[in-house]
Amino acid sequence: MRTLRRGAGLVAMMVTALLLALLPTTAAQAAATGEQNWCGVQGIASPEARRAVEAACAEWRARTVYTWGGGHGPAPGQSYGSVDWSSLEGIRETRLDPQTRGFDCSGFARWAWYKGVGHDILGGSTAEDMFRAAGRTYKQVNGVGGGKPAVSDMEPGDLVFTGVGGTVDSITHVMLYLGDGYVVEAHQSQLPIRVIDIAQRISNNRLVGVTRMPQGSPFTEPTGYDGTLQVTWGTDVAVRQHPNRSAALVTRLSGPDIVYAKCQQRGERISAEGYTNDAWTYLSNRGGWISNIFLRGPAWLPEVPTCSGSDYDAQIGSGGGGNATQGGTHSTWGTGVAIRSQPSSVDGTTVARLAGPTSVAVSCQMHAQTVTSEGYTNDAWSYLPQYGGWITNIYMQGDAWLAGVPACDGRGTATPVGAHAYSTWGTGVTIRSSPSVGAGVVTRLSGPTGVAVSCQKHAETVTAEGYTNDAWSYLPEYQGWVSNIYMQGDAWLIGVPNCVNPRVV
């Protein structure tokens, strides 16, 4: 009996210790580490900076976690991370990130300022690239004599960049300044976003610099310029008289620049910088067309209207992608169906509602937010150019991935009739030009990805991840093959036909 009571006491102490360890950090504990139990704007801030901070603090309140590569999808927002293969330490630290949705530091900054100004001003770049791109669109903050700024030079909403040694080449991190000496940051895999004393993050000469986003009158749209503010990337980028590469040259953009997008349409399909796209945007402040390849953001910009009427330019050159009704006519089903400004039921605002089944034109489709409704789950969304918005494919009559409608990112060709929606798993999964591990690499999938599968076949036997399989699936969006080892499902995918088309070898 005495032994039992001693054991019970020991268990009680262990349970108490465990509960204490799981309790939220108290103000006293937070103060000891510099981490705070609040998040918000400290001091005077512009409307844009206030919205950016509010968006960041909303993620702090939701206890959104850091995941390596998170927030770097085609559009701003949480995404699954990936493994950092650069070192054993990186692999150990990020091994769970492919199954975790969240942000890394630059993806977090991208999301906050997307909410701040209403468009993807920072794009999916790294922290170092963000700092180097500071110029006309957003600017560096300098201290006395043009040197590094002091904390007193910073304003709420500023982005603070750090790196060991304090040089641009050493930048590894970016944080959002709240004011009064505090920052909010996504800082380490699997740990939630936190607010911390900036002094702890810039000590030992780690501060590299600070940038300030567009705020107020210095960045307002000039009189006479139509369209939404966008940002280009790349150097020596051509702006042409018509949406095709053979059209007369209007001007060249020497580097990243601020532009005003009046409308976009399908033009000549081109390949550049590793991307293929047939979307072109008319720049009112340049008087010409630019391929969307060189605009930061998704391949089809959700906030830019489709060119119609006199704005539509029919001179699309050879290999053109067609007009606003490209993809043909389809039909919706259901009542009160929402058309949204983005392919998301959370972030997209309602552009229109369809009272009942409606005939619509679909220009392209993409994998985005997963939606469950009417007993179905799907991550495919279709863009409806007449409405200038997106609809989940749940409400489109047809397969989960619409046959004959191209992907919005311009990869590959239209999905053949009979294609099936599946998902991959794993990180760094290779898509190859033929069903063999020795074939050329088409692309790599950084994490689990929704894909369309048109057919499968028995080919080279592969052993990986503890499995052996000779089945390969053809992914028409990527015009390539993936071993069925990396497809979620059986070794031979149920419902997917054998490849019999002689062109698919």
User: What whole-number distance in Å separates Cα of residue 102 and Cα of residue 81?
Assistant: 7
- Per-residue pLDDT, averaged over 420-436, amounts to 84
Residue with more model confidence, 95 or 346: 95
Alpha-carbon distance 181 to 115, whole Å? 23
Residue 22 confidence class, pLDDT cut points 50, 70, 90: very low
Is the separation of the CB atoms in 496 and 453 below 8 Å? Answer: yes
Mean pLDDT of 95-106: 93
Specify the pLDDT at position 409. Answer: 56
- The average confidence (pLDDT) of the chain is 81
Interatomic CA distance for residues 280 and 238, integer angstroms:
12
Mean pLDDT of 185-196: 96
Per-residue confidence (pLDDT) for residue 453, from 0 to 100: 85
Are the C-beta atoms of 307 and 316 separated by less than 8 Å? no
Residue 472: its pLDDT value, please?
95
pLDDT tens per residue, range 41-73: 998 888 899 999 999 999 999 999 999 999 988
What is the bridge-based pairing of β-strands 35-36 and 194-197? antiparallel
Q: Exposed, middle or buried by CB within 10 Å (0-12, 13-18, 19+), for 465? A: exposed
Least confidently predicted of 90-99, 256-265, 291-300, 415-424: 415-424
Is the torsion defined by CA of 497, 501, 502, 505 positive or negative?
negative
The pLDDT of residue 233 is 80
Give me the pLDDT at residue 340, please: 83
What is the structure's pLDDT at 271?
82
| Euclidean distance between the first and the last CA atom of the chain, given in angstroms as a whole number | 76
- Do residues 281 and 295 make contact, with C-beta atoms less than 8 angstroms apart? yes
CB-based contact 430:369 (threshold 8 Å): no
∠ at Cα 325 (322, 343), nearest 5°?
110
Which of 46-60, 70-84, 302-316 has the lowest average pLDDT? 302-316
Residue 406 near residue 422 (C-beta atoms within 8 A): no
pLDDT computed for residue 28 by the predictor: 37
pLDDT band at residue 415 under the 50/70/90 scheme:
low
Chain segment 213-242, per-residue pLDDT in tens: 877 644 444 455 677 777 788 888 999 999
